[in-house]
Amino acid sequence: MTLEDLALIFVRGVGSRGAAYLVDHFGSAEEVYAASRAALVDDAKLRPELAERIIAGEGMREAKAEVEYCRKHDIRIIAATDMEYPAPLREASDRPHVLFVRGNVEALSLRTLSMVGTREVSPSGIHVVDKLIGDLAEAIDDLCVVSGLAYGVDGACHRAALAHGATTIAVVASVLPEVTPTPHHALAEDIVRNGGAIVSELHSRTKQNGNLFLARNRIIAGMSAGVVVIESPATGGALSTAEMADSYGRIVMAVPGRITDGMSFGTNNLIRSGKARLILSARDIIDDLGWQITAKEVQPTTECDDDDLTANERLILRAFDSAATLDHAAMLAITGLSIGELAMEMMELELKGRIRALPGKRYEKV
């Protein structure tokens, strides 16, 4: 990172797309500031007044002050031209030219997976988060889970990663070293203490106005090869992240839910519209992303906890006492459930990791 990299984000009228465009056009921020008026206006097609600001060195004074601020608060500054900058994010045309990082900068170069969802996460959603991340951490040595440190699914993702020994990155819409929401300050410190990182594109002079979360979401969407959506209503920030990820050519995945559950309308619609791939397990994520397993193979859980099962789910599991594998017809006959009831309960049991689909439309108990 050079002083010019940092100064460029302080030039009035440049913005994220402008900084990315100028650096791509000239090769570096240093070359942008060294460019002539003709090169800026005629070749790069900048407005004359914007070219004059760059020629006058606008932003350099602010950049020097920002370096001191970051040094005081132990914040690393990473430019898009630096090796430490996340490679997938560098491909986005609206990438932030500069990232501010607390914690382990090397975490940005790990195998990242972005996971997002509703703030009103259900107990089942938390269970799914823990199951997916736990199994992924078993299979992928260099797994890094990226999320937004918000309440609900985001916080559950960070906690699950920490619990299962995976690295995690929180992308925040706040000026470091502060984080939002404030009650997640302790979680942020746990992330840093355990080899993860807190990332923001906001410099210390940014005025907080509550409208910075959408911009934050594009970083979450762009940092990884894929984005998993776990529980989302019909509208919300998780869906905007999915849309951005799709626009970047990332693989969008979603966990299905009950059709009567308002917190699954968004994920179900993503799947139905073909915008997201349906996932039921960590193995689905690994296969969809084309990852090679670096640790031991994902194993089915041997720990059985019936506290989170409904009466119908217990009824289905007891059906397997009569045979190692069953098809739908057999389960309908044994349980007495309707086709619709059986389909919904089977989906829930798959999400909870209690049954597994087999070739030939048969199922076995895990």
Whichever domain contains 214, its CATH number is 3.40.50.450
CA dihedral 150, 287, 137, 280 (to 10 degrees): 60
For the segment 275-314, what is each residue's pLDDT rounded down to a tens digit?
Answer: 999 999 999 999 999 998 876 554 444 444 566 788 888 8
Taking the CB of residue 249, how many other CB atoms lie within 10 A of it? 10
Verify that 123 and 269 share a domain, yes or no: yes
112 with 144: CB under 8 angstroms?
Answer: yes
Angle between helices 265-272 and 237-247 (to 10 degrees): 20
Verify that 11 and 54 share a domain, yes or no: yes
Verify that 27 and 155 share a domain, yes or no: no
Angle between helices 213-222 and 237-247 (to 10 degrees): 50
Taking the CB of residue 17, how many other CB atoms lie within 10 A of it? 13
Cα–Cα distance for residue pair 208/221, rounded to 1 Å: 22
* Residues whose CB falls within 8 Å of the CB of residue 88, separated by 6 or more in sequence, listed in order: 112, 222, 223, 224, 225, 248, 250
Verify that 173 and 320 share a domain, yes or no: no
DSSP 8-state class, residue 308: G
The encoded tokens of residue 77 equal 């500054």
DSSP 8-state class, residue 42: I
Whichever domain contains 44, its CATH number is 1.10.150
Verify that 238 and 279 share a domain, yes or no: yes
Number of domains in the chain: 3
Verify that 197 and 344 share a domain, yes or no: no
Verify that 219 and 273 share a domain, yes or no: yes
For the segment 107-133, what is each residue's pLDDT rounded down to a tens digit?
Answer: 999 999 999 999 999 988 999 999 999
According to DSSP, the residues that pair with 147 across neighbouring strands are 170
Given 57, 75, 93, which residue is the final one in a domain?
75
Given 232, 255, 289, which residue is the final one in a domain?
289
Q: Which domain holds residue 13?
A: 3-75
Dihedrals phi, psi of 109, to nearest 5 degrees: -105, 5
pLDDT at 274 exceeding the cut of 50: yes
pLDDT at 289: 94
pLDDT at 303: 46
User: Is the pTM above the cut of 0.85?
Assistant: no
Verify that 242 and 343 share a domain, yes or no: no
> Nearest CA to 230 among 94, 125, 338, 78?
125
Residue 294 lies in a domain: no
Cα–Cα distance for residue pair 231/95, rounded to 1 Å: 27
Given 75, 93, 113, which residue is the final one in a domain?
75
